[in-house]
Amino acid sequence: MADLEDTTEVIEETTDAPEEVVTEASGPKQLREALKRSQEEASGYRTQLMSSAYQEVGLNPNEGLGKAIAKEYDGEPTSAALAEYAKTEYKYESEVTPENDKSVQIAAGQTVLDKVDSVSIHTTPKTEMEELAKATADGDLTKQGQIKANQLGKMFARQQGVS
């Protein structure tokens, strides 16, 4: 009977140990690590956005004026905002203007596409009901008869298949 009690104690000891490890792992330390990873990821995205903004403005963030701006600029990661900051703080006239900013170019392109779409002819096939309505509006009795006969044929074929 003594052997059974010793075994029970060992089992209790092994089940207690993992619980303590789980509690420690889910504490503030894990939350701080998760926050740090999230901040690093966000910083990486911002760096990517800023590098393209610097290119569009015509600055190099690793040398000269671009490096000085990179150390202190903490605004929006867009080329327009960066160009405005450089102009205000350093009197730097960039190559980016609202006319050649990519978002303005995209909007202008969309306007052209919308205009083309409005004058284009869509080639989607008409349904039988649309064709019947057009034939009725045009007064084309032959076309109306053909469409109605086709509809009746389909209806009888379905009834034959069901019965």
Residue-wise pLDDT tens for the chain (163 aa)?
A: 445 455 445 454 444 444 444 444 567 888 888 888 888 888 777 777 788 788 888 888 888 888 888 888 888 878 888 888 888 888 888 765 555 567 667 778 888 888 888 887 766 667 888 888 889 999 999 999 999 999 899 888 888 876 5
Distance CA 139, CA 118 (A): 29
Closest by CA to 50, choosing from 81, 5, 95, 87, is 81
CB 61 within 8 A of CB 86: no
Domain count for the chain, please give it: 2
Distance CA 9, CA 19 (A): 16
Same domain, 105 and 150: no
Same domain, 112 and 141: no
Query: What's this model's pTM, rounded to 2 decimal places?
Result: 0.38
Same domain, 68 and 138: no
Same domain, 99 and 152: no
pLDDT for position 16: 47
Same domain, 44 and 113: yes
**Helix-helix angle 28-57:79-90, to 10 degrees:** 70
Same domain, 19 and 38: yes
Same domain, 83 and 133: no
- Structure-token pair, residue 59: 């600055």
pLDDT for position 127: 84
Domain range enclosing 109: 2-119
pLDDT for position 97: 54
Same domain, 134 and 96: no
